A and B are shown apart, each in its own frame.
Chain A
Amino acid sequence: MVSKLSRSRFSGVLASFVGLVILAVLPGFVDPYSLRIVTGVLMWAGLACAWNIVGGYAGYISFGHSAFFGIGAYVTGILMQRDLGIPFLATLPLGILVAVGVAAAIGGPTMRLRGAYFAIATWAFAEMLMQVAIILDITGGTAGLSLPAYLNEFFFYYTMLVVALLAYLGTWYLLERTRFGFRLKALRDHEPAAEAMGIHTTLVKVQAFALSAGITSLFGSIYAYWVTFIDPRSVMGPEITDQMVVMVLLGGLGTVWGPALGATVLWLINRYIWSELGDTTIYLPILGLIIAMIVLFLPNGLISLLPGGRRGGGLMGRLLRKL
């Protein structure tokens, strides 16, 4: 038993090491197009990780995460305009700050209530924010906003890689190794019992939501600089949230590495459809189909198929019941 456990742990460490080495040297071996796809995988893996903190660990479904992605993108986009000229790296903490503040403001009142209120409130907020971005001058409205171009795919690849790795290692540590993680899982599984243990559940939920929002914003910032042009639809559209949700469900809700797996698979499908059809309209029905299949046949996600993956457990069912 013990040796089996340490052996699986050893193979896990070995696999991570090999994976890291491959990721580190990858840009030297692939063409720019493929590199962009992998950069996208890294970004979506990070976004799925962020959504999973609230959805998988706190058990609250957010349908408004696109708002935080957009906040990061616009904060960076606006601050980097020529008249302000703030350097890219300096815009990142500001985006995080705004996202965290907004998350606390929405989460405070809505996370005391049942999950459905939170789901609706986050959705409504994201819709509203997109409309605001459309009518404001500072965002460029529907005409969008161009950022200073920095055409260095290596830079964006490594930035996404480092930030995604930090997001995963940080959440792994925080959620699986500290009291904060126990607080979250406790309130996810049984809120009154968590309170009976002395856990200030509302505070912990809002902390988780704010953390998740901050990470999401960070990727929005990097994305904006990467693609050099943003408009309300492309950085605040509901498809962004949809994709985060499906990636997490596909990979494994409430697991540390599941979201990375789900993001990789789904983003590769997305890019394949794009390259084959030159269009992704068919992608949305595919997302819907995948959700139905997971709920029916794979409630613990792809990660449960891997050796050492999580056993059954009714996380998905509990999440749905909570609505």
Chain B
Amino acid sequence: MHADTARQTISRSPLVLEGLVKNFGGVTAVAGVDLEVASREVVGVIGPNGSGKSTLFNLIAGMLPMDEGRVWLDGKEVTGQPAWRIARAGLARTFQIPSLFDNISVHDNLMAAAVESGDWKRAPHRAKETMEMLEISHVADNLASELSGGQQKLLEFGRVCMRDPSVILLDEATAGVHPNIRRIMLEAIRRVRDSGATFLVIEHDMEMVREICDRIVVMDAGQVVAEGSFDEIADNIEVQKAYLGRQV
């Protein structure tokens, strides 16, 4: 109890994780992760397939119950709260698998993202701005299911922007997209960061990691095995072990 109070008063970082653990039956997907992300920082999470990155995101977002650990958002503890409450506390996320609202338009996807955040009267205007920023205005009236893979990724990010969150989790936001779309996404992420948001991003694309991440966290078998700048990580032995025999 004492330590908790200390933790809360000392750290007002946008995101603080303490000892997160998640088991799936016999598999320990996340095995004690501690992490603190500073305001406006972009932290990259890398690691081989199955190392627990997405599971970590699901724990933070309250989409999976955790076995152990605690989470603070903007200095407020959100451990064990339902996903919608954590979202309202200022967290936004994208999903690794596209998870758009398929049967409504692009414009309406953005509107639906804003229902619980901010000034509803301004939502149409913000949707318009967001579509312009992401260069998807021309498909505003298309159903989300009619978009190309890259446009879907942009729309996922657009929904995040509509929420005006303080912490953003991106799970492979640019995986497999055209370089053009990657450029749009990159610029959008920078803009949102500059306006005050903090990022935790899972990325497989090292070019992307180098360009946007201030700091990198390497996960392997559910644990953080290395942490540092891109250059530090690039010649780190643990990282090479984690990726041994795999394509980075």
- Chain A interface residues toward B at CB < 8 A: 179, 182-183, 185-186, 188-190, 192-201, 254, 311, 313-315, 318
Contact = CB atoms under 8 A, between A and B. Distances in A.
Interface stretch (B30-38, B85-93, B239-247): B85-93
B95 interface: yes
B63 A198 contact: no
Contacts of B61: 196
19 contacts: A186-B113, A188-B101, A189-B100, A189-B102, A189-B103, A189-B104, A190-B99, A194-B101, A195-B63, A196-B61, A197-B84, A197-B116, A198-B84, A198-B87, A199-B115, A313-B102, A313-B145, A314-B103, A318-B103
A179 B61 CA distance: 23
A113 to B, nearest CB: 15
A315 B143 CA distance: 12
A196 B116 CA distance: 10
A197 B82 contact: no
Contact of A186 (B82, B115, B163): B115
Interface residues of B, number: 29
A197 B61 CA distance: 11
A311 B111 CA distance: 20
A193 B88 contact: no
A38 to B, nearest CB: 33
A41 B33 CA distance: 62
B116 A199 contact: yes
A197 B103 contact: no
A198 B100 contact: no
B117 interface: yes
Contact of A195 (B83, B108, B117, B159): B83
A254 B103 contact: yes
B100 A193 contact: yes
Given A186-B115, A198-B117, A198-B163, A193 B87 contact: no
Contacts of A189: 100-104
A105 B145 CA distance: 35
B87 A196 contact: yes
Interface in B120-169: 120, 143, 145, 159, 163
Contacts of B108: 182, 185
A270 B195 CA distance: 61
Contact of A182 (B63, B102, B111): B111
Contacts of B63: 192, 195-196
Contacts of B104: 185-186, 189
Contact of A193 (B101, B111, B116, B117): B101
A189 B105 CA distance: 12
Contact of A190 (B82, B93, B100): B100
B112 interface: yes
Contacts of B163: 197-198
Contacts of A315: 103
Quick one: which of B82, B104, B112, B117 has the most chain A CB within 10 A?
Answer: B112
A197 B115 contact: yes
B171 to A, nearest CB: 11
Contacts of B115: 179, 182-183, 186, 197-199
B71 to A, nearest CB: 15
Contacts of A195: 63, 82-84, 87
Contacts of B113: 186, 197
Contacts of B84: 195, 197-201
Quick one: which of A188, A190, A254, A313 has the most chain B CB within 10 A?
Answer: A190
In the complex, the 9 A-B pairs of residues with the closest C-beta atoms, listed nearest first: A198-B116, A189-B101, A198-B87, A195-B83, A186-B112, A193-B99, A182-B112, A198-B88, A179-B115
Given A186-B113, A192-B83, 6 more contacts: A193-B100, A195-B82, A195-B84, A196-B87, A198-B87, A313-B103
Interface in B165-179: none
Contacts of B116: 197-199
A197 B99 CA distance: 12
Contacts of A197: 84, 87, 112-113, 115-117, 159, 163
A251 B83 CA distance: 36
B100 to A, nearest CB: 7
B138 to A, nearest CB: 12
A318 B117 CA distance: 27
Given A195-B87, A197-B163, A198-B117, A183 B99 contact: no
A271 to B, nearest CB: 33
Quick one: which of B63, B84, B159 has the most chain A CB within 10 A?
Answer: B84
